Amino acid sequence: MTARRWPLLVPFAIAAGACVQIPDDATTVHDLRVLGVAMDPPELMAPVCPTLNGGQITIPPEDLATYAAQVTLRALLVDPAGEGRPISYELFACSSLSDRTCEKESETVLVTSGQTTAGVLTYSFRPGTILLPNGQPLLFQVLQNDTVFHGLGGIRVPLVLHVGAQGEEIFAQKLMVYSCQFFPDQRANLTPELPGLALNGERWPQDAPLALSGSGPFRTLPDDLTPYEEAYVVPSIPDQEGNVSRVDLVESWKLSWYTDYGTFSSGTTGGTDAAGREGRHNNEWRLPATVEERDVTYWVVARDGRGGLSWSTWRAHYTP
């Protein structure tokens, strides 16, 4: 299938087709956005690890059945001002992690394309079976490009979703993770799911709008995530003798916050910094300078730090 390209305006950004006097805050969604791209499952784990023979990286045949499994890509497309307009999309797969827009045509495959509208774009396919234009399996090429770790930390296949509508366009990269079991208790990653949310200490129902009034503050806080953050194990970098040891870790989720009215005090909460300090998930929704009665939508995107991602939608009715 031949890759079709739209004019490249700004990679990973929205190219505005008109001058709109709206404050540019990343937490405020007023135009076309891709708020999240998720893979289900987020990781496929084979029972045997890739080997390096005579300088050539190989994947054992028994891994191929696992790696050829079907996965589902889901993308959250938000377009508040679009009024249901059609959105064009293209999904590419390529072999280089640094190719954030899959521009290198010799190592790029157009997986699918079409038109949709705002909402959740869903597509099921088998990225582990994709062949490059030269007939080389994409998975093999990605592995060969990994000259440092040789797939030790997992084979990460870049998928790039390109969406656009009326002069606006976005590129969003998502990595499909293929790994292997080094240790008996090593398990494939699971999708993180936000268990619940509270606003000003009140439980926020996800199936009905929450009534809000006044000037705030409106403090948001997720349920305790500790019971849901998985313990996992990864192999270490080989020592001089080529030996690999285990490294035991625990997820530290990050939450990204968005709304179609007002702003959040923090765009991202949680996570752990380089010094090992865990970030807090306290956040605050803030009203715009001019307030009005209206329905408000909020989106919270959860990331587990190793490829797992999900989102949840919350609603409120605000009265000044």
The answer to whether residues 158 and 35 belong to one domain is: yes
79 domain residue, yes or no: yes
pLDDT at 1: 39
Same domain flag for 229 and 154: no
Give how many domains the chain has, as a whole number.
2
pLDDT in the model for residue 23: 52
Confidence grade of residue 58 (pLDDT, cut at 50, 70, 90): low
The pLDDT tens digits of the residues spanning 83-104 come to 999 999 999 999 998 899 999 9
Residue 236 domain flag = yes
154 and 26 housed in the same domain: yes
| Domain co-membership, 274 together with 315 | yes
Residue 1 counted as domain residue: no
CB atoms within 10 A of CB 131: 13
Q: What is the pTM of this model?
A: 0.89
Mean pLDDT of 231-238: 88
Q: Report, as an integer, the average pLDDT of 210-233.
A: 96
142 and 116 together in one domain: yes
**Mean predicted lDDT score pLDDT of the chain:** 88
The answer to whether the beta carbons of residues 161 and 167 sit under 8 Å apart is: no
90 lies in a domain? Answer: yes
* Residue 46 near residue 181 (C-beta atoms within 8 A): yes
98-to-102, 129, 146, 212 alpha-carbon distances in Å: 9, 22, 12, 44
Higher-confidence residue of 221 and 275: namely: 221
Considering 181, 204, 225, which residue would you say is the last residue of a domain?
181
Q: Are residues 25 and 164 in the same domain?
A: yes
Which residue, of 181, 206, 222, is where some domain finishes?
181
Confidence of residue 236 (pLDDT cuts 50, 70, 90): confident
Q: Is residue 172 part of a domain?
A: yes
Please give the average per-residue pLDDT across 96-120, as a whole number: 94
- Verify that 14 and 35 share a domain, yes or no: yes
Please tell me whether residues 229 and 259 are part of one structural domain.
yes
Are both 44 and 166 inside the same structural domain?
yes
% of the chain exceeding 90 in pLDDT: 72
Q: Are residues 215 and 302 in the same domain?
A: yes
CATH number for the domain including 280? 2.60.40.1080
Do 158 and 241 reside in the same domain of the chain?
A: no
**Full residue range of the structural domain in which residue 278 is found:** 190-320
Last residue of a domain, one of 159, 181, 203: 181
Q: What is the pLDDT of residue 5?
A: 40
Same domain, 125 and 103: yes
Does residue 2 belong to any structural domain of this protein?
no
Query: Residue 302 pLDDT more than 90?
Result: yes
How does DSSP assign 186-246, residue by residue?
-----------EEETTEE--SSSPEEEESS--EEEEEPP-GGGS-EEEEEPPP-TT----E
Averaged pLDDT for residues 164-176: 96
Non-local (6+) Cβ contacts of 186 within 8 A are 45, 232, 233, 234
Q: Report the CATH number that the domain containing residue 161 is assigned in CATH.
A: 2.60.40.3880
- Higher model confidence: residue 147 or residue 242? 147
76 pLDDT tier (thresholds 50, 70, 90) = very high
* pLDDT reported for residue 162: 98
pLDDT in tens, 12-27: 443 333 334 445 799 9
**Residue 51 pLDDT:** 58
pLDDT value at 224 more than 80: yes
Indicate if the pLDDT at residue 241 is higher than 70.
yes
